[in-house]
Structure 1
């Protein structure tokens, strides 16, 4: 059954122009009007979704108004089309086409760069995330992504995007994402460099790689926003990255980005939704390399642990360990190389602690802090987990010792996640019998300079 029309204004002006039952004809004229923007491929299905609430980019609306004005013989204002002003960047619809993904990318990157309609307190929408997961997993692959636009894009241009991604990723891991400066620089780069490339001229092979690079950048910006506590913004960019990964025909990258959304859902307490997300990621990844499977199963374990599903959690941990043992001969894509035994130990620590298996969880503590020097934020997060687990187990002295280490590791890191772990530790310690040591540690945690 067709969904009901929600944009009556757009429907009315289409009918007035004679396109009420000729959506394909309107789409063809629109593609012609936008020929200077690149090879648009809008069709009747695009019109269907516009009538039902999907909002095209401002440049597409301008071309719509031009097309309708030519047919009606009068000027048509963009405001007549019923799309209104762009909504919050926290709107998390999964684009239905490659052109829709490019439009969405341009729209949300531009609005983020201009600081328009930002709402850092907007909520994570688990229903929209699950819709995106279904779209990524079951929508048909894109037949083509090649385009004819204003600038030529070569394979070497795409490779430079990967180098920038590595740079932003390294900054994020070392210092956290709480400072808006790094995200602002990255957004400007997306607006002024990546967006024009997406609207450029490229072959099928270069186009797929460009979509992969753009997906990786969008996913990195999503993770940085998540670390900064801007959860709706993070969800928007992760959803866009998921769609671009679909366009790249890179199921492994898509599964990785979906697992990132599951990680965010776990952090926010949406355990059931997180489990469904990572199950979709594992299913979609198929016969994936061992490194990818290790990361996915570890994420599944954290979701099951928070949901209280002990058997599923321990099974997922076992699968993650077995997969990690095989990474020497089957490492997988370069982006999963970060996932080390220390990261798996941190996941085990988290989920077993959630299951109140504190002694078993703490067996993973030494491995969880055996991290490379560049993983500064992860070391702080894992140290906090160890301290909290000791406190939950009633081992106050050990909790206080690890809390003091945490204060050292967290200094200078700007991360909402680290801040949340500090608060969690302080709350857990406060529930114990007051003592001089506990009071001193609580005072030290309060003074820890890890604020945003």
Structure 2
């Protein structure tokens, strides 16, 4: 029985260097590189066990890095081989070049692909987020994205990546981003399939589309990580995606990514920086289609609402509503197709509730749950918000009705954000726990099956 690979980082480097199915050849080159240490007799079996958890001596790792660097045409640090702890997440700074972005992406994907049971933690860094926004907005465009490597990449190859992105997006909407197995599976796909493509041979046109498709995949993994509460990983993936979108010349998707970063910053309490990120997204998008403008203005409204800027929040909501009313799905990018009047209504409800304008907020409730069937996670988020808003306004009957609807949504969803909203509702209702119906709902929401 063949044992599963546990060192995804080493496997990714072997594949990128052309040794994916040539382990004996790698071992021969390694023996040559280590000749100063005596006669080495490593073979394909040695590589097999290194891929499955055995750790060679440090001087052997140095020779491995040297051998791989010679084939890849770039420096390879021994720490990239995956034999040290995988708990260290690479720095989330904005890559200076496409080459740096690809290298940073490979390292991060390898870390995640190897995390079968645990996810690395870490804090969101708003300063790095703002630096990324400035670099994306004002750095010069990339003049050259064509490349010559080992694997030829075609338009059909790139189209397959968009299909994969659609698949994972659908999984995320139906079940949330909380499954570490799903995120590790996506990272493994990026390590094994996408990284070799990025190191391959492609024309400028194919290269820009490849960068765009990879940015879409990285952006989706970022959102799933954010939904799971792994915020440093999410930020790093957004930053990589932002750099790849820059290389692709896709300012609209870049603006969307910045808006996602702003949304994450709002969730984590960085309201002022979130507003700056949202404003940079709006500025960078320029004359965008109406549906994209609506999405960007809702992100700005969220930031203004949390910071207490009532007038700015309401102004952004008005602009978003006007834009969503004029939105035309025809001709809009595929990645923004999800954004509907229901998503705007959910944001409006959240903003106005934060400003304690409960009546105006709840007028958006019917629209907020008018979602497509596959949007299970969003339905749970909006339903929890509606219940909490009713509870805060003093209408316990309505809060319990919506709380009951929420309990029905929960078993299918694994999402740190949904869990947070359920906790907010329970905290709000706890002041009325002596009321029989409230007590029953609190018990239901506290059950493990309800919390997913």
Paired residues of 2:433 and 2:439 also in contact (CA < 8 A): no
Which residue number in structure 2 is paired with residue 108 of structure 1? 108
Which residue number in structure 1 is paired with residue 136 of structure 2? 136
Which residue number in structure 1 is paired with residue 299 of structure 2? 299
Paired residues of 2:90 and 2:107 also in contact (CA < 8 A): no
Cα shift at 1:86: 8.0
Cα shift at 1:267: 1.3
Residue 394 and residue 90 in structure 1: after superposition, are their counterparts in 2 closer, same or farther (change >3 A)?
farther
Residue 60 and residue 267 in structure 1: after superposition, are their counterparts in 2 closer, same or farther (change >3 A)?
farther
Residue 77 and residue 393 in structure 1: after superposition, are their counterparts in 2 closer, same or farther (change >3 A)?
closer
Which residue number in structure 2 is paired with residue 167 of structure 1? 167
Moved more, 438-447 or 84-93: 84-93
Cα shift at 1:270: 1.4
Paired residues of 2:291 and 2:339 also in contact (CA < 8 A): yes
Paired residues of 1:89 and 1:118 also in contact (CA < 8 A): no
Cα shift at 1:196: 0.2
Describe how 1:32-47 pairs up with structure 2 within 5 A.
Answer: none
Moved more, 426-435 or 205-214: 426-435
Describe how 1:235-250 pairs up with structure 2 within 5 A.
Answer: 235-250=235-250
Which residue number in structure 2 is paired with residue 373 of structure 1? 373
Paired residues of 2:275 and 2:304 also in contact (CA < 8 A): yes
Which residue number in structure 1 is paired with residue 446 of structure 2? 446
Cα shift at 1:90: 5.8
TM-score calculated relative to the size of structure 2: 0.81
5+ long unaligned stretches in structure 2:
1-15, 19-61
Cα shift at 1:261: 0.9
Paired residues of 2:17 and 2:68 also in contact (CA < 8 A): no
Paired residues of 1:414 and 1:450 also in contact (CA < 8 A): no
Paired residues of 2:119 and 2:180 also in contact (CA < 8 A): no
Paired residues of 1:88 and 1:119 also in contact (CA < 8 A): no
- Matched residue SS, 2:432: coil
TM-score calculated relative to the size of structure 1: 0.81
Which residue number in structure 2 is paired with residue 192 of structure 1? 192
Residue 59 and residue 326 in structure 1: after superposition, are their counterparts in 2 closer, same or farther (change >3 A)?
farther
Which residue number in structure 2 is paired with residue 394 of structure 1? 394
5+ long unaligned stretches in structure 1:
1-34, 38-57, 68-75
Paired residues of 2:278 and 2:296 also in contact (CA < 8 A): yes
Residue 299 and residue 149 in structure 1: after superposition, are their counterparts in 2 closer, same or farther (change >3 A)?
same
CA distance in 2, matches of 1:341, 1:235: 27
Paired residues of 1:415 and 1:451 also in contact (CA < 8 A): no
Residue 237 and residue 138 in structure 1: after superposition, are their counterparts in 2 closer, same or farther (change >3 A)?
same
- Matched residue SS, 1:338: coil
Paired residues of 2:117 and 2:180 also in contact (CA < 8 A): no
Cα shift at 1:158: 0.2
Moved more, 442-451 or 156-165: 442-451
Cα shift at 1:62: 4.0
Structure 1 residues 329-384: Cα deviation after superposition (integer angstroms, max 9, x where no partner): 77521110110000000000000000010111000000000000010110000000
Structure 1 residues 150-191: Cα deviation after superposition (integer angstroms, max 9, x where no partner): 100011100000000000000110111211221121111100
User: How many aligned positions are there?
Assistant: 386
CA distance in 1, matches of 2:443, 2:417: 20
CA distance in 1, matches of 2:386, 2:130: 32
Paired residues of 2:365 and 2:386 also in contact (CA < 8 A): yes
- Matched residue SS, 2:412: coil
Describe how 1:199-348 pairs up with structure 2 within 5 A.
Answer: 199-328=199-328, 332-348=332-348
CA distance in 2, matches of 1:208, 1:417: 34
Cα shift at 1:433: 6.3
Residue 59 and residue 155 in structure 1: after superposition, are their counterparts in 2 closer, same or farther (change >3 A)?
farther
